[in-house]
Homo-oligomer: A and B are copies of this chain.
Amino acid sequence: MRDVSIIGIGQTEVAEHWDRSLRHLAGDAVLAAIEDAGIEPTAIDALYVGNMLSGLLTGQEHLGALIADFVGLRGIEAVKVEAACGSGAAALRLGYGAVAGGLHDFVVVAGVEKMTDTVNAETTTGLVMAADADYESIHGLTFVSINALLMRRYMYEYGIEHEAFGHFSVNAHHNAVGNPNAMYRRPVTVEQFSRARMIADPINLLDSSGIGDGAAAVVLCPSTMAGEYQNGGVVCIKASAMATDAVAVHDRPDPLWLSAVEASAFKAYQQAGVGPRDIDLFEVHDAFTIMSTLSLEASGFAERGKGVWLAQAGEITREGRIPICTMGGLKARGHPVGATGIYQVAEVVQQLRGEAGANQIANARLGMAQNIGGSGATVITHILEAWD
């Protein structure tokens, strides 16, 4: 297997892009990534597109061929990859495998989602397709309410008040201020968090990431070929690992332990030859504050029941022990679901290149991005390292 590097990144602003269709968003990100890499488009072998909801919400499947053609790559191998909200990083995982294994040399991986201006159904109907249709959503559960059950259980088991989760939201919004691609570029306080309106008790508006339209893309190639493409700087993929779990939360022996997060993170640590202490920043899948908490615990950054204290102690800020959501996270950058996994990776690349502007983590060498499908049923972890 060959080492794989990221030689280009592209992102659109996450927003309500009423004037941009899915192909325009994806096109903007893909073309920006190709330009950033400084690569000839004719060198590109394949396009993998991460997307969850294009069928239900926009009446369009077949995004591989559609986007390949739109960006001027008609004819190349192209597919869509879906793993609920983990679709972006799942596509990257397959792209990584194709380059590492020698199937392709140059692969573009894009994530795209258009969640406003929908056809066929509303976004809430779309998002719950990440859960078990026959055993969860059929009872009227939404995706938020499944997470609300987890949060309620966590608060009960560990005797934690809702306000304690507020620091995740404060951190994410604080970091989004410096990210021109973020949807919510304004700070919030713990007081505002506590007063935010209820969505699905105990999850309130500021526990929840915002949906939006957006696309992000990366260009991959074997590390041995990456030296020629130092246009924007090169970052090496040290580890790529995916694991799954039961989709329905009630099927898991312990609903407060995300086994697939643990399996995916520790496979990644092993592949990279590192541990949680070596990670300089961690793009957490903070779809809800409870998911941040559980992810930090299962990834080895906090003991069971203690994840929320990392946030309260300030350890997740840019100056803390393990900065998370350094560009705003899902919470404040926004969560265009199938694109999120690629945004996370593109943001880690920005940090490792030293191009994160006001949000730069000092001396960042090793960054981790973790993308989750459903409430922990598909988890993909990537560890990236800066080139000298």
A194 and B97 CA atoms in complex are apart in Å by: 50
Q: Is the CB of A23 within 8 A of B134?
A: yes
Determine if A68 is an interface residue (Cβ-Cβ < 8 Å): yes
A111-164 at interface with B (beta carbon < 8 Å): 120-121, 125-126, 128-134, 137
Determine if A81 is an interface residue (Cβ-Cβ < 8 Å): yes
**Which residues in B have their C-beta under 8 angstroms from that of A378?**
62, 64-65, 78-79
Determine if A227 is an interface residue (Cβ-Cβ < 8 Å): no
A62 and B245 CA atoms in complex are apart in Å by: 11
Determine if A275 is an interface residue (Cβ-Cβ < 8 Å): no
Chain B, residue nearest A24 (CB) = B134
**Which residues in B have their C-beta under 8 angstroms from that of A93?**
77, 79
Number of this chain's copies in the complex = 2
Chain B, residue nearest A57 (CB) = B55
Q: Which of B1, B62, B101, B377 is within 8 Å of A84, CB to CB?
A: B62
Determine if A52 is an interface residue (Cβ-Cβ < 8 Å): yes
Interface size on A, as a range, is 35 or more
Binary flags per residue of A350-388, CB closer than 8 Å to B gives 1, else 0: 000000000000000000000001100110000000000
A90 and B161 CA atoms in complex are apart in Å by: 48
Q: Is the CB of B245 within 8 A of A374?
A: no
Q: Is the CB of B120 within 8 A of A69?
A: no
**Which residues in B have their C-beta under 8 angstroms from that of A103?**
1, 97, 100-101
A100 and B243 CA atoms in complex are apart in Å by: 21
A214-272 at interface with B (beta carbon < 8 Å): 242-247, 251, 259-260, 263
14 contacts between A and B (CB under 8 A): A23-B134, A55-B55, A55-B126, A60-B134, A64-B83, A77-B243, A79-B83, A79-B242, A80-B81, A94-B98, A97-B101, A101-B101, A101-B102, A101-B103
